[in-house]
Chains A and B, each alone.
Chain A
């Protein structure tokens, strides 16, 4: 039993070494990726950090409320996505504007099951869309928490927030569950297709 474990560890490390060397070769062949700055915003408890960790394929079971922000880089479709997840607590929303500069895509996350706060989240979104520094920036709205029975469908949220009145930029609403990962990839595909033209 014991020798078997030792042997396994050895095999594992050797294979890791190979993988490491192979990844080096791969890196040599490919040019460095184009960097993209993506901002994740939304009310507290919308699921921004869960979404971030889901995108980075990290464990999502120990998440705590975000004080300040988290940042992660993810490789996707030849892009290096720098994702900024900013805390959504009311107290720190005034700080959001410090992160607007040079944003390529805005992802706005909504808790679809928290109907009581639809108005609040709509207001915050409207304010974001009025920001000069974010003018013309494509916006993806994630109607999150679709795994909950009480979640409102994306169409209902789009209607409630009057999304169809957005004319100054490309936008999309995508229903998803950051918990299960459903719909997240579809949203990110949209992001990669619609980021600012200069990046392509």
Chain B
């Protein structure tokens, strides 16, 4: 950082020196003298005194630092970790999994530590347990108990604890796959189920208004872009529609309240489009694994699609609140505020005790 404090001073000097050098080189050019050494000196000068140079040196230090960190990480994961684990096992007589279960109560920290421990294990039996299905979990547990020579009479809870953790870890992966499958389904006007779901959305949000026809300007009232919503689901496919319907169906009051907010003359936004956009946010948080702590704290078993959709509902409700608190100048600033909101949610998800559930404010 000290480099940067120097920058304004150096900058002024640099401009002066530049001017001199330019005149000199102009003169040289006119006189037909070009020194090769000049180029080398110029490079050095730029590197050590120019604003660019300072910035780039900082960057270089950063890169080298990163390299050393990764060398340390490599040594740690390949050698030191195992030596340390072996030593602790000899002293305490407990394996790493047992120590995790004894030190942490059921929830995100425990499940995440278990996941890491299994992932980093040298034993194939333990690594394979991460690929368990709901019906093969018991089998994997028996194998782990055998492999790690765990005395169940001394640690009766072990099996139950491991089962919950495995179900959470594998359930998250399965949920990711289910959500991905739903997302990949493109909204198809020929498909009666898809069409019925779309009409259901209309009825849920506008129970007192009849839709003139399937293709109508009225779709704009619930925040679609044009007369036909089918082009608005895009990369989120049926997941976008399913989420919109879920929110309106399970939180009808909140949904209508958010919809009426979205029609605000000054702070209004497109309800359905923003909903699809927030589906993307929920989806990317799920895919990156950022949602793990939330689900591990929420469900002592495998999380289901419903839990994902409840998280989506949380996002919609909270985003609406956030938008009206921030009072953006216009809808054109949507992406900036979306990013701000995204960062906020990501920060919350980094807390080990995180639980993001839609809770209504008393004012409703």
Sorted nearest first, the 8 A-B pairs with minimum C-beta distance are A68-B334, A67-B334, A13-B70, A20-B63, A62-B235, A45-B231, A63-B235, A89-B225
Contact B331 A28 (CB under 8 A): no
Contact A10 B74 (CB under 8 A): yes
Within 8 Å of chain B (Cβ to Cβ): is A34?
Answer: no
Q: How far is the CA of A3 from the CA of B74 in the complex (A)?
A: 9
Contact of B332 among A13, A64, A95 (CB under 8 A): A95
Tally of contact residues, B, Cβ under 8 A: 47
- Indicate with 1 or 0, residue by residue over A61-88, a CB within 8 angstroms of chain B CB atoms: 1111111111000000000000000001
18 contacts between A and B (CB under 8 A): A2-B122, A3-B78, A7-B74, A10-B70, A16-B66, A17-B64, A21-B63, A27-B56, A44-B231, A62-B284, A64-B236, A64-B240, A64-B277, A64-B279, A69-B335, A70-B335, A89-B273, A91-B270
Q: How far is the CA of A66 from the CA of B232 in the complex (A)?
A: 10
What is the interface of chain A, defined by CB distance below 8 A to chain B?
Answer: 2-3, 6-7, 9-10, 13-14, 16-17, 20-21, 24, 27-29, 44-45, 60-70, 88-92, 95, 98
Contact of A64 among B46, B235, B336 (CB under 8 A): B235
Contact A9 B74 (CB under 8 A): yes
Q: How far is the CA of A153 from the CA of B71 in the complex (A)?
A: 56
Contact A69 B332 (CB under 8 A): yes
Contact of B56 among A9, A14, A24 (CB under 8 A): A24
Q: A10-B70, A10-B71, A89-B270 are in contact. Are A65 and B59 (CB under 8 A)?
A: no
What is the interface of chain B, defined by CB distance below 8 A to chain A?
Answer: 43, 46-47, 52-53, 56, 59-60, 63-64, 66-67, 70-71, 73-74, 77-78, 120, 122, 220, 225-226, 231-232, 234-236, 240, 269-270, 273-274, 276-277, 279-280, 283-284, 330-336, 338
A29 neighbours in B (Cβ, 8 Å): 43
A20 neighbours in B (Cβ, 8 Å): 59-60, 63
Contact B70 A67 (CB under 8 A): no
Q: A2-B122, A62-B235 are in contact. Are A17 and B67 (CB under 8 A)?
A: yes
Residue in A63, A65, A68, A92 with the greatest tally of chain B CB atoms within 10 Å: A65
Contact B74 A28 (CB under 8 A): no
B268, closest chain A residue (CB): A91
Contact B331 A45 (CB under 8 A): no
